[in-house]
Every structure is written in C-alpha cells, then in structure tokens.
Structure 1
C-alpha cells in the first residue's frame, strides 16, 4: 500500500530544466524538499499531494486540512 501526504509549498527553486524544479514543502511543520516536475502550475501557498519526494497533484486547502485532520485523529487513537 502506498501513502501520499498533503503538504503546503513554502518556497520554489525555479530551474531552467523543468524536471529539476524543486520546492520546500511543509508537512505540519516538517519541511522537506520535493520535486515539482509533475505539477508545473504549482505556486507558493498551494497544497500538493506528495509521494516519495514527488508532488503528484495540487489540491485545495480545505481538502488538505481535512486529510491532515484525519491523520491527527489516527495518531490520537493509536497512542
């Protein structure tokens, strides 16, 4: 089973090579570098679904927050 997690793009490192376009993405305060090649329309402030270091799609803020809330509920139940 694979898991993709929503995160908010906080900065983008533009590059002349589209495959090397990278962004810093915050996952509830944990910031990771993510490849943005699959989402050329992505902008700072957008939420993206990320899997193994690649942003796969852009989602709206409400959907991202709802998913993050589910993760919090799962964590509370499992502790």
Structure 2
C-alpha cells in the first residue's frame, strides 16, 4: 500500500481545510475519501479470502471459514 493511501491524517487535514468557516466541505475531498474507503475495503476482503483456509488465523479473528468467505464475497461498496 502506498504511503499516500496509508496516511489518513493527510486526508483528515485536507478535509478540515476544506470545511473552514461556514463553507461546505470540498466535494473532491469527499469523493477521495469515499474512493479510499472502498479501496481499503476491497483489499481487506481480498486478504480475508486469502486466509479463509487457515484455521489458526480465522480463530484469531473469531470467524469460521464460511463467515470469512461470506464477508469476502460482499461487493466493496457495501
């Protein structure tokens, strides 16, 4: 993962600057935030699918194989 996407503090600072005063937050910042959330969710679900066959890792998460695959099969926008 790139440093830009891993650094959520950068995005939060940009959002605060866009919402200074009585102005509405910048729509580009909202769009970027939404895109980053969807991207992160897609990566997390792909990682969950990759560990679905490892019972020790699933036990650490408190999930069964079926629950892990059910979560991994959800679309990234949900």
TM-score normalised to structure 2 length: 0.29
Which has the larger strand fraction?
A: 1
Higher relative contact order (CA 8 A, sep 6+): 1
Which has the larger helix fraction?
A: 2
> Radius of gyration: which is bigger?
2
